[in-house]
Chain A
Amino acid sequence: MSAVVELRGIRKSFDSVPVLLGVDFEVGYGEVHALAGGNGAGKSTLMKILQGVYTKDAGEILVSGTPVAFSSVDDAKAAGIGMVFQEFSLVPSLTVAQNLYLTAEKRNRVGMISDRDSRDRGRRIFADLEVEVDIDAVVGDLSTAYWQLTEIAKAVAQNAQVLILDEPTASLARNEVDALFGLIGRLKGRGISIIYISHRMDEIYRIADRITILRDGRSLFTRRLDEVTPAEIVEGIIGRPDDGALSYRERESSAGTDVLLEAITLYSGTRVRGVSFQLRAGEILGIAGLMGSGRSELARCLFGIDRIDSGELRMHGRRIDVRNPRDAQRAGIALIPEDRREQGLVLEHSVTDNLLLPVLDTIRRGPFLDTRSGRRLSRTLIERFAIKAGDADQPVRRLSGGNQQKVVIAKWLGTRPEVLIMDEPTAGVDIGTKGEIVAMIRRLADAGGAVIVISSEFPELLAVSDRVLVLRNGAVADELARAAIPDEESLQLAVQGL
């Protein structure tokens, strides 16, 4: 297999902190090549170098066998390398067609651009890719899945030979994932190569031809997927054998009998339509459902972000009014939101400031904040949650995704909530950290707290939950005891309503 792109001995440091220490990586024509590694292993840096966003300190980049020097995104694009960004690169206020040909619009003699031409060409591309998208829709109004398809079409419209897909399925429903994989197959058929970055093992096996694993800034190995076992991959990523954190274990202490939180026919907006459930002390309740089933909206209304239109919430059997997050917090409820960068953290603020934000009241001395006890608390949290932050005063933005997530969790656990709601707690988190988070959830429940885990990743849901609620169209469609779910497949079927 000849390589369309080859990276040799790539090195890169930031402020004299080495991130890449000699990475070799190559992608063949029409190949889907998985790239895996823990948070901070250097995947994003490597891809940004390939993209022309960063320049390498040392090493070689070859495109179709010819050495190239990328000094900008334009250079890389001219060489046919297109990235489908994790943090999307579409302008929300423009239409699909306008985005596809942004800066590549056809112009007439006096320099006026033609939207009609962009529409025509765009329609043809989508037809070729067998994807149905309204070409005149404003991108900001599209769902994530269509946003992503548009992103891919944009790269194709610009004649990309290599597409970089970074966690493309993170927020897609099962049928959308199938559509995406179908599309990837068709792209392959056209000789387009794909670098597929993902933490999800099942997807890697389903779609990729080869895998390269990065660890600590080096390429550990590249293997064909039919020659490598999942266990070898996991061990490669986390650097030690899989300790089974992600498989179900009997809980050390079983859930109590006291009902801690009770929801009675909750209605909120258009997405939560009559949800009732009980949550006992020491219990971990999993919530499964498709995108749009009301999962996140349920979490939002339990935490007082969305208004509860009707229904009742009871805590310890007493009715509580949760009209805003402050009410929820006072009642002992905490939410770890779906989008940690947007909703969970003040990215520019320090790790310490973020950790202390919800507990400022408890570290006050008179009207002033007691910085010393604040620091002490922050140090304790950093230790307890094994947050890798060289310096507690550095902005949270500089931490890896997994560590950011730990900061969000630690921040809310600092408030000692009785009920912790976690929305997609392991999204975009590497497998090592995933195990730590799962262990954290178990410890919390063992200590008598109640946890609600909302997740689209069934393995982790099945690993932690004592009971799983299946939501469909905003209502509880099914309630399954963990013991009644034999495997992932049956949960999948329950969620799809089959």
Chain B
Amino acid sequence: MADPTTARPPLSTSGRSTRDLIRGLADVDWRRYVIYIAFVAVFVLFAVLLRDDGFLSQGNLLNIFRQTATITVIAVGMTYVIACAEIDLSVGSVAGLASVCSAMAIAHWGLMAGILAGLAVGVVVGTINGGLVSRLGIPSFLVTLGMLGIAAGVAQWITHSAPQPILNDTFNLIFGGGDFGPIPGLLVWMAAFVVVGAVVLNRTRFGRQVVATGGSRTAAEFTGIDTRRIKFQVLLISATVASVAGMLYAGRLQSGRFQWGSGDELSAIAAVILGGTSLFGGRGAVIGTLFGALLIGLINNGLILAGLESSQQQVVRGVIIILAVALARKK
């Protein structure tokens, strides 16, 4: 729990009665940590119930991480956006577009061009999203909803809906295909994003400004924070991070495809909110986001092992997410 802004229970305020204080602490203790409690509870539940289905095998556990990695990366960027009281619905299709642009550039011009092309997708989309939101004041919900369609459409259009194979082994190795000894490369990517994301959000002036802007835009503005710039930057970060996630899809699956990442925005948002970031901004927790994503991955994995059909999985997953958020809700 590295996040000082969310993990600290509100301490006593002179003038409140001890009873309020105790009640306050009682409230906070479990609500703030509900994601960790839920994670452990679900893990233990599956460990017991799915003992014979290989849930606890090293292979399966690494699998959970592997399947969760890209969502986690996207969700780290999303944490910034939501902590800033904005939303980015375009991340899933940005990942898809980045995967195909990267794949096509590799086929034509090689490795470096491929990586740059993938990143360029994020930077361009992020600049457009951020510019429209911060300069023209259009709500991010609408801008990124539009961009969701545009990015997905472009990805499908330029590839004529065909998968773009990636034959460059180095690329596939770097972006998620390879392993570092027993540790999957994807896990390293995930860890890097989480660590950098958590440190920047909690321990840098920029991170503090993001949270302040989301907490009270007026207050931030009067404190001298350029809140338009902050809003621009978080949307730029989110799209760029999503484009990296797109390349992770491409590397792992050795191809670029417009469907990669499709629907990920909703999983990412769910992970962020489960992790304790306030949907209304002002509070952000990257470590929480990691566990939010892991919980979703855990549930997916467990339900598959339990032999549920994908339709049933969706229902159970939905119920668990609503339940967790309801429990974590601040009255």
Given contacts A137-B11, A141-B13, A143-B15, contact A107 B205 (CB under 8 A): yes
Chain B residues closer than 8 Å to A203, beta-carbon distance? none
The answer, among A92, A112, A146, for a CB contact under 8 Å with B14, is A146
Chain A residues closer than 8 Å to B221, beta-carbon distance? 73
Chain A residues closer than 8 Å to B218, beta-carbon distance? 87, 89
Chain B residues closer than 8 Å to A90, beta-carbon distance? 216, 219
Is B223 interfacial (CB-CB < 8 Å)?
yes
Given contacts A83-B222, A89-B218, contact A132 B212 (CB under 8 A): no
Chain A residues closer than 8 Å to B223, beta-carbon distance? 89, 91, 102-103
Extra contacts besides A73-B221, A89-B222, A138-B10 (15): CB < 8 Å: A53-B222, A83-B222, A85-B222, A88-B219, A91-B211, A91-B215, A91-B223, A93-B214, A102-B212, A113-B208, A134-B13, A138-B8, A141-B13, A141-B24, A145-B15
CA distance A134 to B199 in the complex (A): 26
0/1 interface trace, chain B 222-250, chain A, CB 8 Å (1 if under): 11110000000000000000000000000
B5: shortest Cβ distance to chain A, in Å?
Answer: 7
Give the residue among A83, A93, A103, A112 with the most B Cβ atoms within 10 A: A93
Give the residue among A74, A85, A88, A103 with the most B Cβ atoms within 10 A: A103
Is A136 interfacial (CB-CB < 8 Å)?
yes
Chain B residues closer than 8 Å to A219, beta-carbon distance? none
Is A331 interfacial (CB-CB < 8 Å)?
no
**Contact (Cβ within 8 A) B5 A134:** no
Chain B residues closer than 8 Å to A94, beta-carbon distance? 5, 208, 211-212, 215, 282
**Contact (Cβ within 8 A) B10 A141:** yes
Given contacts A93-B211, A134-B11, A143-B15, contact A74 B224 (CB under 8 A): yes
Is A77 interfacial (CB-CB < 8 Å)?
yes
Chain B residues closer than 8 Å to A132, beta-carbon distance? 14
CA distance A90 to B24 in the complex (A): 22
A472: shortest Cβ distance to chain B, in Å?
Answer: 16
B80: shortest Cβ distance to chain A, in Å?
Answer: 15
Of chain A, the residue at the smallest CB distance from B282 is A93
14 of the cross-chain contacts (CB-CB < 8 Å) are A83-B222, A85-B222, A91-B215, A93-B214, A94-B5, A102-B212, A103-B208, A103-B212, A103-B224, A111-B205, A113-B203, A113-B204, A134-B13, A141-B24
CA distance A244 to B159 in the complex (A): 81
Of chain B, the residue at the smallest CB distance from A114 is B203
B113: shortest Cβ distance to chain A, in Å?
Answer: 32
Is A255 interfacial (CB-CB < 8 Å)?
no
Of chain A, the residue at the smallest CB distance from B214 is A93
Of chain A, the residue at the smallest CB distance from B12 is A134
Chain B residues closer than 8 Å to A125, beta-carbon distance? none
CA distance A62 to B85 in the complex (A): 39
Is A405 interfacial (CB-CB < 8 Å)?
no
Is A495 interfacial (CB-CB < 8 Å)?
no
B85: shortest Cβ distance to chain A, in Å?
Answer: 11
Chain B residues closer than 8 Å to A102, beta-carbon distance? 208-209, 212, 220, 223, 225
0/1 interface trace, chain A 135-163, chain B, CB 8 Å (1 if under): 01110011101100000000000000000
**Contact (Cβ within 8 A) A98 B208:** yes
**Contact (Cβ within 8 A) B8 A98:** no
**Contact (Cβ within 8 A) B5 A136:** no
**Contact (Cβ within 8 A) A137 B205:** no
Chain A residues closer than 8 Å to B8, beta-carbon distance? 95, 136, 138
**Contact (Cβ within 8 A) A93 B215:** yes
List residues 12-44 of chain B with CB under 8 A from any CB of chain A: 12-15, 24
Is B70 interfacial (CB-CB < 8 Å)?
no
Is B278 interfacial (CB-CB < 8 Å)?
yes
Chain B residues closer than 8 Å to A112, beta-carbon distance? 199, 203-204
Chain B residues closer than 8 Å to A53, beta-carbon distance? 222
Of chain B, the residue at the smallest CB distance from A101 is B208
Interface size class of B (residues with CB under 8 A): 20 to 34
List residues 174-220 of chain B with CB under 8 A from any CB of chain A: 199, 203-205, 208-209, 211-212, 214-216, 218-220
The answer, among B12, B24, B278, for a CB contact under 8 Å with A93, is B278
Is A440 interfacial (CB-CB < 8 Å)?
no
A176: shortest Cβ distance to chain B, in Å?
Answer: 9
**Contact (Cβ within 8 A) B12 A103:** no
CA distance A91 to B208 in the complex (A): 11
CA distance A5 to B274 in the complex (A): 51
A151: shortest Cβ distance to chain B, in Å?
Answer: 10
CA distance A138 to B204 in the complex (A): 19
Is A446 interfacial (CB-CB < 8 Å)?
no
Is A263 interfacial (CB-CB < 8 Å)?
no
B201: shortest Cβ distance to chain A, in Å?
Answer: 11
CA distance A142 to B10 in the complex (A): 10
Chain A residues closer than 8 Å to B4, beta-carbon distance? 115
CA distance A77 to B278 in the complex (A): 31
Chain B residues closer than 8 Å to A85, beta-carbon distance? 222
Chain A residues closer than 8 Å to B15, beta-carbon distance? 143, 145-146
0/1 interface trace, chain A 176-214, chain B, CB 8 Å (1 if under): 000000000000000000000000000000000000000
Chain B residues closer than 8 Å to A95, beta-carbon distance? 5, 8
0/1 interface trace, chain A 93-126, chain B, CB 8 Å (1 if under): 1110010001101010001110100000000000
B4: shortest Cβ distance to chain A, in Å?
Answer: 6
A468: shortest Cβ distance to chain B, in Å?
Answer: 26
**Contact (Cβ within 8 A) A73 B11:** no
Is A133 interfacial (CB-CB < 8 Å)?
yes
Chain B residues closer than 8 Å to A91, beta-carbon distance? 211-212, 215-216, 219-220, 223, 282
CA distance A107 to B220 in the complex (A): 19
Closest 9 CB pairs of A and B: A93-B282, A91-B215, A89-B222, A93-B215, A112-B203, A89-B219, A141-B10, A138-B10, A91-B212
B234: shortest Cβ distance to chain A, in Å?
Answer: 16
Chain A residues closer than 8 Å to B24, beta-carbon distance? 141
Is B283 interfacial (CB-CB < 8 Å)?
yes
**Contact (Cβ within 8 A) A105 B224:** no
Of chain A, the residue at the smallest CB distance from B15 is A143
Chain B residues closer than 8 Å to A138, beta-carbon distance? 8, 10
Chain B residues closer than 8 Å to A146, beta-carbon distance? 13-15
Chain A residues closer than 8 Å to B10, beta-carbon distance? 137-138, 141
CA distance A145 to B221 in the complex (A): 22
Chain B residues closer than 8 Å to A113, beta-carbon distance? 203-205, 208
Of chain B, the residue at the smallest CB distance from A87 is B218
Give the residue among B11, B13, B209 with the most A Cβ atoms within 10 A: B13
CA distance A312 to B108 in the complex (A): 81
CA distance A291 to B315 in the complex (A): 49
The answer, among A107, A115, A137, for a CB contact under 8 Å with B13, is A137
**Contact (Cβ within 8 A) B215 A136:** no
A205: shortest Cβ distance to chain B, in Å?
Answer: 28
CA distance A311 to B205 in the complex (A): 53
CA distance A348 to B205 in the complex (A): 34
CA distance A82 to B5 in the complex (A): 26
Of chain B, the residue at the smallest CB distance from A118 is B208
CA distance A143 to B215 in the complex (A): 18
CA distance A105 to B218 in the complex (A): 19
Chain A residues closer than 8 Å to B278, beta-carbon distance? 93
